[in-house]
Amino acid sequence: MKITDFSVHRCRIPLDRPIGDSQVIFTEHFMTVLELKTDDGRTGVGFELQQGMPTSAVAQLEAQYRYNGWSGVVGQSPLGMAMRIGRPRGGNVGAAVLGLATETAMWDLAAQQAELPLYRLFGGSEPRVRAYGSTLDFHLDEAEFRSWMAHFTELGMGGIKIKVGHPDIEWDLNRLATVHDVLGEDVDVMIDANEAWSPKEAISRMKRYDDEGFEIFWIEDPITREDYPGYAMLAAEIDTARINTGEYLGFHGKRRLLESGGVDVLNIHGQFQASRAAAHLAGDYGIPVSLGNTLLELGVHLAASLPECLYLEFSDLAWNRLAVEPVKFEGGFAIAPDRVGHGIVLDRDALAEYAEPQ
Ligand SMILES: [Mg+2]
């Protein structure tokens, strides 16, 4: 099987709710959809998201891909490419156009060729993964916040993650009180500060939440991503919650983080191959992983193939409208599609509806 052709779609998708955290807010998603075609008539699909800024016009996206990515893709075997170990150096670090979309489409094709669902190609045997609902609520009012929590509770989620990190600690405490009010004590509560605090502030806030009687399953990204000594300090001082971080770090940063001893749950997402390597490294330190949001929830294949994945994040975002049959969430679990490949088939009507070529 060889790659012979590609097509690119540019979509602008309005969100059901303004999403964000203590640092950012977004009301729409600019998605690029890449289809790679093969000489035996198969199509692999990959996705890319740009937040906070429109993507280039589709003609320009096509030209950029043809100029920078395509010569390394055309004529290649998908499995061979998906398995390739890159050597990022100098100016080629992060320079690939549609790198994530290409890797996703390659794995889709490789699993189609193997006639396996992707999680099985990755060595998994059980399609279900424990999932948590992620409200992304920082910019929602109280009523909206409650309704999103109710939505995730209806899906049977055993965990809910909310945003904290407001300059006024009373705001955080009110949110935690609402969570307690709605969910009771049977649901794991995760909080995410998106790097809002200094190490000392993180320690004092976590102490206050504990003093107020709020049990926290994990605190995510309390301080800046590369403050490895800071994370080591938090790990030594905070014994009331796990520390979840790594989402914003590349492989090198994740390694340094693990070496620092400052992480209890390593957050991985992004390209499959790099995430598999990071999960392997975390396992070497005896540290479990969690999956952050992935486009069209495709990280479910990765999560389902890993031996120590605590939870997969589900924010129920509008990108799932692009799929004929999105990844299912039932009874507190994400379920990897049992179709060959990654199993996400594009909904052509939705693609047309959200297409914005210019
Ligand atoms: Mg986060």
pLDDT digits (tens, 9 = 90+) for 107-131: 999 999 999 999 999 999 999 999 9
Q: How far is the CA of 220 from the centre of ligand 1 (A)?
A: 6
Predicted pLDDT at 95: 81
The token pair at 18 is 């303004």
Assess whether 190 and 297 both reside in one domain: yes
Name which of 46, 7, 50 is nearest 31 in CA terms.
50
**Domains held by the chain: number:** 2
Q: Is residue 305 a part of any domain in this protein?
A: yes
Q: Which residues of 303-333 are buried (b: 16+ CB within 10 A; e: fewer)?
A: bbbbeebbbbbbbbbbbbbbbeebbbbeebb
Mean pLDDT of 12-17: 96
Q: Is residue 342 a part of any domain in this protein?
A: no
Q: For residue 36, name the pLDDT band (cuts at 50, 70, 90).
A: very high
Q: How far is the CA of 116 from the centre of ligand 1 (A)?
A: 31
Predicted pLDDT at 94: 78
Q: How far is the CA of 97 from the centre of ligand 1 (A)?
A: 25
Cβ neighbours of residue 43 closer than 8 Å, sequence gap 6 or more: 35, 36, 37
Query: In terms of residues, how long is the chain?
Result: 358
Assess whether 137 and 267 both reside in one domain: yes
Assess whether 103 and 164 both reside in one domain: no
Rounded Cα distance between 336 and 107, Å, is 15
Q: How far is the CA of 302 from the centre of ligand 1 (A)?
A: 18
Residue type, 323: A
- In tens, the pLDDT along 310-337 reads 999 999 999 999 999 999 999 999 999 9
- Helix axes of 272-284 and 251-260: crossing angle, nearest 10 degrees: 10
Q: What CATH number does residue 216 fall under?
A: 3.20.20.120
- Helix axes of 199-211 and 228-237: crossing angle, nearest 10 degrees: 20
Q: Is residue 341 a part of any domain in this protein?
A: no
Run of H or E residues at 272: helix 272-284
Portion of the chain with pLDDT greater than 90, in percent:
94
Q: How far is the CA of 255 from the centre of ligand 1 (A)?
A: 19
Assess whether 54 and 160 both reside in one domain: no
Q: How far is the CA of 169 from the centre of ligand 1 (A)?
A: 19
Phi, psi of 192 (to 5 degrees): -130, 120
Assess whether 24 and 145 both reside in one domain: no
pLDDT higher than threshold 90 for residue 198? yes
Rounded Cα distance between 187 and 184, Å, is 7
Assess whether 103 and 124 both reside in one domain: no
Mean pLDDT of 191-213: 98
Longest Cα–Cα distance of the chain, Å, equals 63
pLDDT higher than threshold 90 for residue 96? no
Assess whether 90 and 137 both reside in one domain: no
What is the value of pTM for the model shown? 0.96
- In tens, the pLDDT along 217-260 reads 999 999 999 999 999 999 999 999 999 999 999 999 999 999 99
In 3-state terms, what secondary structure has residue 87? coil
Cβ neighbours of residue 193 closer than 8 Å, sequence gap 6 or more: 22, 163, 164, 165, 202, 205, 219, 220, 221, 222
Name which of 309, 296, 312 is nearest 157 in CA terms.
312
pLDDT higher than threshold 90 for residue 92? no
pLDDT higher than threshold 90 for residue 87? no
In 3-state terms, what secondary structure has residue 187? coil
Q: Is residue 25 a part of any domain in this protein?
A: yes
Are the C-beta atoms of residues 182 and 149 closer than 8 Å to each other?
A: yes
The token pair at 17 is 């709710």
pLDDT higher than threshold 90 for residue 41? yes
Q: Is residue 340 a part of any domain in this protein?
A: no
Name which of 43, 89, 115 is nearest 344 in CA terms.
43
Assess whether 194 and 141 both reside in one domain: yes
Assess whether 85 and 128 both reside in one domain: no
Predicted pLDDT at 185: 85
Assess whether 199 and 316 both reside in one domain: yes
- Helix axes of 142-154 and 169-183: crossing angle, nearest 10 degrees: 40
Mean pLDDT of 150-159: 95
Q: How far is the CA of 112 from the centre of ligand 1 (A)?
A: 32
Assess whether 104 and 156 both reside in one domain: no
Domain that holds residue 270: 120-335
Q: How far is the CA of 56 from the centre of ligand 1 (A)?
A: 27
The token pair at 176 is 């935690």
Q: How far is the CA of 320 from the centre of ligand 1 (A)?
A: 20
Q: Is residue 275 a part of any domain in this protein?
A: yes
Q: How far is the CA of 194 from the centre of ligand 1 (A)?
A: 6
pLDDT higher than threshold 90 for residue 173? yes
Terminal Cα distance for the chain, rounded: 33
Q: Is residue 321 a part of any domain in this protein?
A: yes
Q: How far is the CA of 93 from the centre of ligand 1 (A)?
A: 24
In 3-state terms, what secondary structure has residue 326? coil
Q: How far is the CA of 247 from the centre of ligand 1 (A)?
A: 7
Q: Is residue 343 a part of any domain in this protein?
A: no
User: Which range (1-5, 180-184, 186-190, 323-327) has the least confidence?
Assistant: 180-184
Q: What CATH number does residue 33 fall under?
A: 3.30.390.10
Mean pLDDT of 19-46: 97
Assess whether 238 and 154 both reside in one domain: yes
Q: How far is the CA of 132 from the centre of ligand 1 (A)?
A: 13
